[in-house]
Amino acid sequence: MMDTEYEIRNAVKDLQMARSRLSERFTHWKFTLDGNLVGDIGEAYAFAHFDMTKIGTGTKNHDFVASDDKHVQVKMTQRKTLGLGLKEPAFDYLIALFLGSDGEIEVLYNGPGAPIYTRPGKPPRRSIPTEELRERNRDVDDADRVPLRALTGS
């Protein structure tokens, strides 16, 4: 697993340097890496670290199946809010990640998806502040998380 983390971090650093060069040259644009690229990095990181299986391409409502056969949605951002992207949760777990400008990836939240997505008396959320995800993550019982992938000796 260490090789995967090292490879991802170094590749992300290269992308961040390229983004910085573009931002310096073209000051009207932010060139954040959010979008499919950031999502793909997040999914690759989550797959390497959590005990789950990738679902085939073209599934809109969830990305993985956890070892307990529950559906998992993975989201990643570089912003102060995380876009949830769906009108209602069609998954059991949410893994929310934050990509730092130094290539570090932080797990903001790993737990049940419905409590993040819904608020009493209000329509489902389309986004949530990253700080709120950190706060809510502290209250998640370990039994309600997607377990980490077992380390192998190879």
What average pLDDT values come out for the chain (154 residues) when binned by 10 residues?
A: 81 89 81 77 89 78 86 93 78 93 94 84 80 95 94 57
Asked if the structure places residue 97 within a domain, the reply is yes
* 153 domain-assigned: no
In a domain, 11, yes or no: no
pTM for the structure as a whole = 0.80
Residue 69 lies in a domain: yes
Q: What pLDDT, on a 0 to 100 scale, did the predictor assign at position 116?
A: 87
Q: How many domains does the chain have?
A: 1
Q: Which domain holds residue 103?
A: 33-142
pLDDT at 35: 62
Q: What is the DSSP string of 41-99?
A: HHHHHHHHHBSEEEPPTT-SS-SEEETTS-EEEEEEESSSEEE--SSS---SEEEEEEE
Residue-level pLDDT at 134: 97
- Asked, for residue 28, whether it belongs to a domain, the answer is no
